[in-house]
Amino acid sequence: MDAMDIYRRLLNHFGKQDWWPVEHGFRPREFEIIAGAVLTQNTNWSNVRKALKRMERAGFLSPRAVAEAGSKQLEEAVRPSGFYRQKAERLKMLSQFIESFGSFGEFRKSVTREELLSLKGIGPETADSILLYALGRRVFVIDAYTLRIFSRLGFRQWDSYEEWRKFFENEVLEDTGLYMQYHALIVEHAKMFCRKKPLCSSCPLADACARKA
């Protein structure tokens, strides 16, 4: 099986995914995705949802509001996501960076991947999540779930994030919506079947998995 075969099988099994979830009153709504991409570092999504809800209650709903927020107040808002001092600092810095463009529309149109990666605490996965889900750029997100699943399926093990990203962008049809769906399906499959201790007996990819060979 190639990468597109795996996509089709996952889509057939799980159906279309509604991801990235936007559930609060952030303005613009894409800013909720950006905040979530930072807050989800080293934690699970249930903790991110709690932090986003607290940001909503505190009124930290826009880049300007976060850029101008008091550090202690912002730290308290994002506390449920863990590493809250680091994440508050990163959110504040990223919000100030967005504000430097003059408008969110200009940020969305003009920001580059290299500029995002130059910011403290913004690594490739976070930058690409922002680019894909918030800004609609055609970039494939690689995460630990991707490495786990495709390693077990017997794909070549690349040495770097960039090599993995280029592999998917070469192998998968160039479509932003498909990139979103594929990444979301990978996450769902890793949570449901390809766990650290996998549930191979009911896995929809079991017949093609090198781990069982």
- Residues 114 and 76 occupy one common structural domain: yes
130 and 144 inside one domain: no
Q: Are 58 and 73 in contact (CB under 8 A)?
A: yes
Q: Which of 81, 113, 134 is a domain's end point?
A: 134
pLDDT digits (tens, 9 = 90+) for 142-187: 999 999 999 999 998 899 999 999 999 999 999 999 999 999 999 9
What single DSSP character describes residue 27? S
Same domain, 41 and 127: yes
Q: Which of 119, 134, 149 is the last residue before a domain boundary? A: 134
What's the pTM?
0.95
- Cα–Cα distances in Å, from 107 out to 66, 112, 123? 16, 9, 18
- Radius of gyration, alpha carbons of the chain: 18
- From first to last of its 213 residues, what are the pLDDT tens digits of the chain? 899 999 999 999 999 998 898 999 999 999 999 999 999 999 999 999 999 999 999 999 999 999 999 999 999 999 999 999 999 999 999 999 999 999 999 999 999 999 999 999 999 999 999 999 999 999 999 999 999 999 999 998 899 999 999 999 999 999 999 999 999 999 999 999 999 999 999 999 999 887 664
Closest to 132 in 3D by CA, of 95, 165, 87: 165
Number of domains making up the chain: 2
Residue type at position 57: R
Query: Domain range holding 56?
Result: 29-134
